[in-house]
Structure 1
Amino acid sequence: MLNRVFLVGRLSQDPRPSTSTQGLSICNFSIAVDGPTRNMPTSFINCVAFAKSADFINQYIKKGDPLVVEGALQSRSYVNKSGQTVYVTEVVANNVQGLGSRKNDQYNAVNDNVKQNNNFDYNIGSYSNANPNTTYNNSSSNQSSNDDLSDEQSMWMDSLDE
């Protein structure tokens, strides 16, 4: 079976960063994807990224910026503070690539500073360059250690690494 999603669109609002109880970076964001024709409405797809991918999005991607998201579709539920069950469908982002910005000048200093530091390798993924035009891979992860995830979600996220 295959559960793979590719989205190309624009960030519909600034990213919403948070941290798990174990200190893992989390970023919730929504991407606006145009329909295939002008008559089709724009879809707003909820996404979540973890660890270095979350840090990348929080630092470099802002509302309106174009990006590519690769991940897997996840449906889950949780009980909120009011005791109500909330159902969520979202894309768990494994790879995120910024496609530049309407304000490309803001990235010039970043791009100049990281040209000599290509191909960083982390336990949580690989990251080539710190610029917004670079893919950020978060596929080999320690995400399953996140206390904020259910056992089922942890097992599912571990299966992404295989």
Structure 2
Amino acid sequence: MLNRVILIGRLTRDPELQYTPSGVAVTKFTLAVDRPFTSQGGEREADFIPVVTWRQLAETCANYLSKGRLTAVEGRINVRNYENNEGKRIYVTEVIADNVRFLESNRTNSNGGGDPFHDDGKSIDIPDSDLPF
């Protein structure tokens, strides 16, 4: 049996970081994943898929992901249910991610937003003695 999912989409809003009573980090966000076809009206449609990350991955996602950022998620589908305050059974389907890839750099300002590999147009002067070859 196999329960594996890979998604590529954009975050619909900033991730929400919380901690369980025992101190374990958990981050939740929703990924908008475009469908590979258009509606009868010619418009693109998307699925909005809830994603949950745990522990160190949760903290990393909370620190580096933001609304609109293109992201790849790998994990498993989880279906859970609970009874709400009115006694109604509520079912929740979500992806429990064990791997998240940031597919775009996070450019929050003109100098690359903390991206050390951002090309700001300045040349880099490295002496020949520093080159390993």
Same fold by TM-score, threshold 0.5 exceeded? yes
Distance 2:87 2:107 in 1: 43
In structure 2, the residue matched to 1:131 is none
Alignment RMSD, CA only? 2.0
After TM superposition, the runs of 4+ consecutive aligned structure 1 residues lying more than 4 A away are none
What is the DSSP-based 3-state SS (H/G/I as helix, E as strand, rest coil) of the residue aligned with 2:114? helix
In structure 2, the residue matched to 1:34 is 34
Distance 2:16 2:88 in 1: 22
- Within the alignment, does 1:56 sit opposite 2:63 as a pair? no
Query: Relative to structure 2, which stretch is displaced further, 50-59 or 30-39?
Result: 30-39
Distance 2:114 2:84 in 1: 39
Of 73, 82, 95, the residue aligned with 1:69 is: 73
Q: How many residues align?
A: 111
**1:85–1:57 Cα change, 3 Å:** same
Of 92, 98, 108, the residue aligned with 2:115 is: 108
Distance 1:18 1:95 in 2: 19
- The structure with more helix, counted as a fraction of residues: 1
> Which entry has the higher C-alpha Rg, 1 or 2?
2
Long gaps (5+) in structure 2: 119-133
* Paired residues of 2:31 and 2:48 also in contact (CA < 8 A): yes
TM-score by length of 1: 0.62
In structure 1, the residue matched to 2:89 is 85
- The structure with more strand, counted as a fraction of residues: 2
**1:41–1:75 Cα change, 3 Å:** same
TM-score by length of 2: 0.75
